[in-house]
Homo-oligomer: A and B are copies of this chain.
């Protein structure tokens, strides 16, 4: 098993602080949505703060209900903790909780927090830190099945799609594991590699380590990052693609997006170009790679228009096309399992 990053001990208390902005608690919401069984409650500091609808617990109550780690699932301006946040972290540690954070500012770099953790024997998890001693990738074919989500752009739903695929597969009793490659995914799953924070020489190697050989007939569902068409991050995307050596790709896109994320004036690539370029690059480490579906984020479209667009795109490409939020991913999973029928028989053995 992968040991590059310790698994964050569950269950969790989700720290929301005094956040007023729904967007600022995106990570905590993701954890509550995708791993509700791991969340014993939330910690809000004021009555008007954002809530996830969980029980608002003191640290003592959280520990009494079995919580082992407080997740700092908020994104403050600049990714730094306020003095109030630090005081809360210290109280959580004193109450017996480990603490995990996806903030840019590392927990371990705050002297008070580091000393308190040492004194109380608690662990700190800075999920933006890649594991030490990552290997260089070797491109050798590993045992097992892998699916990777790739995108026309950043932030088009690769993580959501990956988690929806994992949930659908588990619902069908197909063995599978979500493999997180970004901070939010790592907070949701409790483990993973922050691939954009890895030193360049080790991008593909870090993903080889994240998704090691498996011989149970099950699938690794690997979260993609960036896009081969994004001039800021394509190197990350290519190393991730090579290291993942996917058997199956799902293409993620947001139809109608005006320009590439953060780059006004730069249009998104077509779905067809995205498919062609990702397949060609992926063949370097897995010549048998296939595309098994398209996941659209259609949140900006009226439902009827979205449904029509999915149907038309499916007719044009011959692929199942769904919005994971609006439609789920059952057709994509049908196609994936059809393409890899032998794996389906081997893996139909509970999760």
Contact = CB atoms under 8 A, between A and B. Distances in A.
Contacts of A238: 228, 234-235, 238
A242 B263 CA distance: 14
A182 to B, nearest CB: 11
A233 to B, nearest CB: 7
A231 B232 CA distance: 20
Contact of A205 (B232, B243, B266): B232
A127 interface: no
Contact of A204 (B229, B231, B239): B231
A139 B266 contact: yes
A334 interface: no
Interface in A181-227: 195-201, 203-205
Interface stretch (A30-38, A108-116, A166-174, A277-285): A277-285
Interface residues of A, number: 36
A249 interface: no
A136 interface: yes
A196 B204 contact: no
A25 interface: no
A235 B231 contact: no
Contact of A284 (B195, B234, B239): B234
Residue in A195, A203, A228 with the greatest tally of chain B CB atoms within 10 Å: A203
Contact of A231 (B139, B229, B236, B262): B139
A348 interface: no
Contacts of A280: 277
Contacts of A228: 238, 281
A239 B32 CA distance: 35
B284 A139 contact: no
Given A199-B198, A236-B200, A236-B201, A263 B138 contact: yes
Contact of A203 (B200, B263, B285): B200
Given A197-B201, A228-B281, 10 more contacts: A136-B232, A196-B200, A200-B203, A200-B235, A201-B236, A203-B235, A204-B231, A234-B239, A234-B242, A235-B238
9 contacts: A138-B262, A139-B263, A196-B201, A200-B235, A201-B236, A231-B285, A234-B242, A235-B242, A238-B238
The 4 tightest CB contacts between A and B, nearest first, are A235-B239, A139-B231, A235-B235, A203-B235
Interface of A: 136-139, 195-201, 203-205, 228-229, 231-240, 242-243, 262-263, 266, 277, 280-281, 284-285
